[in-house]
Amino acid sequence: MSTPALKIYNTLTRTKEEFRPIDPAHVRMYVCGPTVYDYAHIGNARPLIVFDVLFRLLRHLYGVEHVTYVRNITDVDDKINARAAERGISIRELTDETNKVFQQDVKALGCLEPTVQPRATEHIGQMITIIERLIASGHAYAADGHVLFDVPSMQNYGRLSRRSLDEMLAGARVDVAPYKRGDMDFVLWKPSKENEPGWDSPWGRGRPGWHIECSAMSWAHLGETFDIHGGGIDLVFPHHENEIAQSCCAFGREVMANYWMHNGFLQVEGEKMSKSLGNFVTIHELLHTEKFGGRKWPGEVLRLAMLRTHYRQPIDWTVKALEEAETSLRRWSEFISAGAASGDSGNFLHAFEGALADDLNTPLAMKLLHSVYDPSQLDKALNLVGIDVRRYARWIENEKSKSVDASSIGALISARLTARALKNWAESDRIRDELAAMGIVLKDNKDGTTTWEVKR
């Protein structure tokens, strides 16, 4: 049975299109990654999980060696400068520390490592080259130590976001400056103060604007034009619109990427997530603290809860949704562990792949998982979307172990050994039953010692 054709909703055309890669032997995707000044929040987790599923699907369809996935790390930014100064540490120390936690959290969510994770600071040369090309072609100008993109010089600027001039002016949070020719012009390069990171350039010591960073990194690793560019819906304007302007005008191309994909917004328990409302929650807090719902949550639960909503739709992040996701995971884990088929699953895997190939219809794919009767097929399907029930089971077991007071267990085992030595079998059995009620399984060894473990 043939694999279903992949269809993608393209923000650029506002239609669902059949995916046709530029080169089927080398499918290329770029997704905007984190600005590493603080822990990533749960809203940031959505594109990480969504585009990891797409990465897995592309590898499944075209072969592992034929897909390149680039997700950048922004390590030069005004927020980074401010946070480093606030903490009294170097910018590199801050970004390395934050990126380390980010990588651990993303791994816990079940995401594969992208093919390349470029850092912005390692691509300053490419940024300068693009800016020089834009100036030479009349699309940018230097003024007062700054270099700005001349928006009116690009005839079809705004094609991605399809906003009116007034909407673009409002959305861009325009900075009023005497050196700007037009209100919409945006910064490609800006001067650095002595206490700020900076690099030598034809326009003086300075640092890049945010938008030019992604144009440079995508060019360096994927070429002038590539297949898919992804990110959150909040990045459509101005970030992605400006990336297109820079890349297309610098390289004389009609498009930067052929397909643009954007995931929807996330709210928490029916409200917009914000620190002022006290509902701002990071991936790290969900994994390692009891801030949300009074407990920690395994990465597989977070991932499954995210995939139950279609990536383009808004998602409401609730404790109830996490509990429902965990119920499903527990059932699937037990079914796969049992290993015995309980019915005919028919063309389940084909239908499952078809759901994913239809613009990542994960809600349908998750629904299909409840109708499969073959543990092997269920396992394969879960692996395709990055859900590892065995890792989930290990997490549960590990958490149970942490909740057990080892010294109390040891005292009970010693008391039981004493009872056995005195041939007080009733007391020995009573202690065994007490431990069993705590979830502790004893194993009596031939040498007279007893070991224990927490049962699942």
pLDDT band at 444 (very low <50, low <70, confident <90, very high): confident
Mean pLDDT of 56-67: 98
Residue 169, pLDDT score: 76
pLDDT band at 399 (very low <50, low <70, confident <90, very high): confident
pLDDT tens by residue, 122-147:
999 999 999 999 999 999 999 999 99
Give the chain as a 3 state SS string: CCCCCCEEEECCCCEEEECCCCCCCCEEEEECCCECCCCCEHHHHHHHHHHHHHHHHHHHHHCHHHEEEEECEECCCHHHHHHHHHHCCCHHHHHHHHHHHHHHHHHHCCCCCCCECCEHHHHHHHHHHHHHHHHHCCCEEEECCEEEECHHHCCCCCCCCCCCHHHHHHHCCCCCCCCCCCCCCEEEEEECCCCCCCECCCCCCEEECHHHHHHHHHHHHHCCCEEEEEEEHHHHHHHHHHHHHHHHHHHCCCCCEEEEEEECCEEECCEECCCCCCCCCEHHHHHHCCCCCCCCCCHHHHHHHHHCCCCCCCEEECHHHHHHHHHHHHHHHHHHHHCCCCCCCCCHHHHHHHHHHECCCHHHHHHHHCCCCCHHHHHHHHHHCCCCHHHHHHHHHHHHHHHCCHHHHHHHHHHHHHHHHCCCHHHHHHHHHHHHHCCEEEEECCCCCEEEEECC
Question: Is residue 402 pLDDT above 80, yes or no?
Answer: no
Residue 1, pLDDT score: 64
Question: Is residue 109 pLDDT above 80, yes or no?
Answer: yes
What average pLDDT does the chain have? Answer: 93
Question: Is residue 456 pLDDT above 70, yes or no?
Answer: no
This prediction's pTM: 0.88
Question: Is residue 174 pLDDT above 70, yes or no?
Answer: no
Mean pLDDT of 180-195: 94
Mean pLDDT of 235-252: 97
Proportion of the chain above pLDDT 70, given as a percent: 96
Proportion of the chain above pLDDT 90, given as a percent: 78
Residue 178, pLDDT score: 87
